[in-house]
Structure 1
Amino acid sequence: MAIVLGPNRYGKAENRIVRIYRDTPRHEIHDISVSTALRGDFAAAHLAGDQSLVLPTDTQKQTAYSFAKEKGLLSIETYGLDLAGHFVDHVEPVQTARIEIEEFAWERVVIDGSEHDHTWVRRGQEVRTAAITVDGSGQDQRTWVVGGLKDLVILKSTGSEFTGFMHDEYTLLEPTGDRVMATSLDAGWRFSSTDVDWEAAYLQIKQILLRQFALVHSLALQQTLYEMGKAVLEACPFIAEIRLSAPNKHHFLYDLSPFGVENTNEVFHAADRPYGLIQATVLHDDAEDAGPAWDSYTGLV
């Protein structure tokens, strides 16, 4: 039986880039981690160590930094499209480019009631993400854009229950009609177009996700995720599908009876591990095939 080289790609992972706009006295900051990955006919590099068709990963890094100035870094989706398009269109051996981006948010420090023009504090609510894949050239070129967020920690103190589940000889969990529901949400949404206001879309989708988490009376985290995804698709015709991943951050009622104290659903143990992990995809039934849109490179996006 022959041994052959299978699918392969290479790139520069997690380049930390900060772009500060200084056009006015009120500066703007954009802080990202960007990873690049290239596919093409790189068999000779693997089989014979021939680097003649290999664009160094250091060159990919330098391009990413330079594009933060040349092309700008106002929206991570636009920046990623520019970067992926460059590698595919201008580096002959490259057939497919994948760009994965995380954006870290900052908010202005408030001094005497006013936002400071050039001082910020890191805002830790969530990390915004984007993954851009460009394949081919000319009229046959295809593009996929996935926006998203990760580590969005949300909790509701009521409006959630878990009853009627299957039991067997190993089941110890008691049903509950009123529980704390908490998660650290990761979500990615695949755009059906690149003609999108990326900033407005992100804010709209995040708000829909939070609204549904709050308002849906949850019979199961699975149900909540579906309702969240469904609401995004109903409100945003430019989204083909959304994928949601939610660890169930369990909050167990703590037994205070040994101390003669009644615990009326008020004191909980927040369990770290293990945790239930619920994942769901919600999509239009006629959505175009996702192709390589979800083919993660770093595993971070």
Structure 2
Amino acid sequence: MTVKHSIFGYLLGEGFRNVFHNKKSSGASLAIMCATMLIFGLFFMIIENLNNAVETLETQQGIQVFIQKTATDAQMEQIGEQIQAIDGVNKVTFVSKEDALNQTKEKLKDKQALIAGWDESNPFKASYLVTLTDLKLSSQVQDEIKKIDNIDSIQSRDETINGLVAIANGVRIVSAVILTLLVLISIFIIGNTIKLTVHARRKEISIMKYVGATDSFIRWPFVIEGIIIGIVAALLSILVLGIAYSLITNAAANSIISTMGIKLLSFTDMTTLLVIVYMVLGIGIGALGSSISMRKYLQV
């Protein structure tokens, strides 16, 4: 074993020893880091689900394209292919005259007398329901559809679409601001917690400095200690969030959210990004906070 390996092993061992030896300060740092990460994680999941809900509602909004009654079956099929080929079109669904009539019967339920005789002389036109990849492309797609032969009319809810676009943009801007602020707040709180931990052990640092230990030799056990606490806090936070989120999704499955066709994201959908953020916060702030906080105590 080389000297470098021996020194590294010693410093690593000291880092672990410090965590268990200084149980009060380590416990306080761990608790505050966990609390901060849980708050961040909670907001992160809320924002991710809000974005998902807006995107789901966007895909549910569509354009209804009515076909002229004189169009043949072959022409109607060709119209569907032409619409699907337009940039910005996500999905095209054919609605026959019979389908439209049946849908009206279902809506009217016990008021069938209002449409008496419609089975013999169906007044509805065949149509295509068109959903978009991006609601901002609604006007552009409509302009392209108008160029197709045998199109009778186009029905769209432009006000609803414009409203959803505005909401989607607002949610994305607000979420970016909130998450940025939460990261900065997390850095500030965790950094100060580590600073207090280092301050409580200033005498220990001073003694090591006086007996001739180098700055790196003194600093690394504290840095390793910060990293260990950061990793443990990140793992505990993910575990708690995972359990809490599974309970929330089970409750939401029977709520009004599911009736709107909106499903909450699964925890695994968010885990990768959440783990990366947590590890950066935990390891990065743990190591950097310990290193920076020690500077003034090393200047002896």
TM-score where L is the length of structure 2:
0.24
Kindly name which structure, 1 or 2, has the bigger radius of gyration based on alpha carbons. 2
Higher fraction of helix: 2
TM-score where L is the length of structure 1:
0.24
Query: Using CA pairs below 8 Å that are at least 6 residues apart, which structure has the higher relative contact order?
Result: 2
